[in-house]
């Protein structure tokens, strides 16, 4: 799919829809070295921090993707047309620990424009990100006791802020 470069000031998305309904893939690692892994995400946010555009993602330490997020400096967040719902489902229930789930899902990893972590040929939106901040969530900081119910295994997410260094997307992601 031919994607166009989009300045962050011209980027337009229905962010809640994108995360909560459409879902996305979070991919950490290095394409050239052949070391990367991906998983489906539906929690996160997009905004500005320290004067830079950023995406925030949350990854449980139990995910195989977690070790790639820890070891490598960059990651991508990618969105797909509805026809790839099945692929995103598969990538959100199977682990890269147990085999080549990306090939099984029928997706094609490809080089990004500015970072080492891969994008996907089938994506309609690619956010290329460089890690700015990481921190494990602290259970004692939860202000609503109901939040703890998300963690029966106490596998509290690690939060990552990634500076968005490039955006590529279909025309619908560009405004102005
Ligand atoms: C719709 C959906 C959303 C998900 N969102 C997240 C998320 O935001 N953070 C997370 O740690 N896991 C999330 N998961 C779970 C991972 O995608 C899942 O555990 C995946 O199999 C991990 O793969 P890996 O072991 O190869 O990293 C989600 C799963 C689905 C199906």
Written as one string, the DSSP assignment of 20-50 is: III-EEEEEEETTTTEEEEEEE--EEEEEET
pTM, to two decimals: 0.98
- Using most ligand atoms within 8 A of CB, pick from 25, 38, 63 the residue to mutate for ligand 1: 63
Give the model's pLDDT for residue 144.
98
- Whether residue 83 lies inside any domain: the answer is yes
Q: Is the CB of 63 under 6 A from ligand 1?
A: yes
Q: Is the CB of 133 under 6 A from ligand 1?
A: no
**How many structural domains is the chain composed of?**
1
- Whether residue 22 lies inside any domain: the answer is yes
What are the backbone angles phi and psi of residue 41, rounded to the nearest 5°? -130, 150
Closest CA to 3 of 164, 173, 175, 176: 173
Kindly give the distance from the C-alpha atom of residue 98 to the centroid of ligand 1, in angstroms, as a whole number. 15
Q: Which atom of ligand 1 is nearest to the CA of 93?
A: 21
Q: Is the CB of 61 under 6 A from ligand 1?
A: no
Kindly give the distance from the C-alpha atom of residue 88 to the centroid of ligand 1, in angstroms, as a whole number. 10
Rounded to the nearest angstrom, the gap between the alpha carbon of residue 163 and the centroid of all alpha carbons in its chain is 12
Which CATH number covers residue 128? 2.30.110.10
Residue 137, CA atoms < 13 Å, CB-side half-sphere:
19
Q: Over the stretch 63-108, which tens digit does the pLDDT of each residue have?
A: 999 999 999 999 999 999 999 999 999 999 999 999 999 999 999 9
- Whether residue 34 lies inside any domain: the answer is yes
User: In a 3-state reduction of DSSP, which class is residue 121?
Assistant: coil
CA-to-CA distance for 162 and 106, rounded, in angstroms?
Answer: 27
- Whether residue 13 lies inside any domain: the answer is yes
Residue 42 in this model has a pLDDT that exceeds 90? yes
Write out the residue range of the structural domain in which residue 53 sits: 4-170
- Whether residue 46 lies inside any domain: the answer is yes
- Whether residue 153 lies inside any domain: the answer is yes
pLDDT band at 1 (very low <50, low <70, confident <90, very high): low
Distances in Å between the Cα of 53 and the Cα atoms of 15, 33, 60, 70 are 14, 27, 23, 21
- Whether residue 175 lies inside any domain: the answer is no
pLDDT above 70 covers a percentage of the chain that reads: 99
List of residues 6+ apart from 45 with CB closer than 8 A: 15, 19, 55, 56
- Whether residue 176 lies inside any domain: the answer is no
CA-to-CA distance for 98 and 77, rounded, in angstroms?
Answer: 22
* Cβ atoms 15, 56 nearer than 8 A: no
Distances in Å between the Cα of 123 and the Cα atoms of 57, 62, 75, 94, 142 are 18, 26, 15, 20, 35
């Amino acid at each position: 799919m031919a994607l166009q470069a989009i300045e962050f000031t011209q980027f337009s998305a229905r962010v809640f829809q994108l995360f909560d309904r459409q879902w996305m893939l979070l991919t950490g690692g290095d394409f050239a070295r052949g070391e990367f892994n991906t998983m489906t995400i539906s929690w996160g946010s997009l905004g500005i921090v320290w004067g830079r555009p950023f995406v925030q993602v949350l990854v449980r330490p139990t995910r195989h993707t977690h070790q790639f997020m820890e070891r490598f400096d960059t990651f991508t967040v990618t969105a797909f047309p509805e026809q790839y719902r099945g692929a995103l489902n598969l990538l959100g229930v199977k682990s890269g620990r147990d085999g080549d789930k990306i090939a099984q899902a029928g997706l094609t990893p490809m080089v990004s424009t500015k970072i080492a972590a891969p994008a996907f040929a089938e994506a309609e939106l690619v956010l290329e990100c460089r890690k700015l901040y990481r921190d494990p969530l602290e259970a004692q900081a939860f202000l609503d006791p109901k939040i703890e119910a998300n963690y029966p295994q106490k596998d509290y997410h690690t939060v990552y802020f990634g500076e968005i260094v490039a955006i590529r997307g279909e025309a619908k992601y560009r405004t102005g």
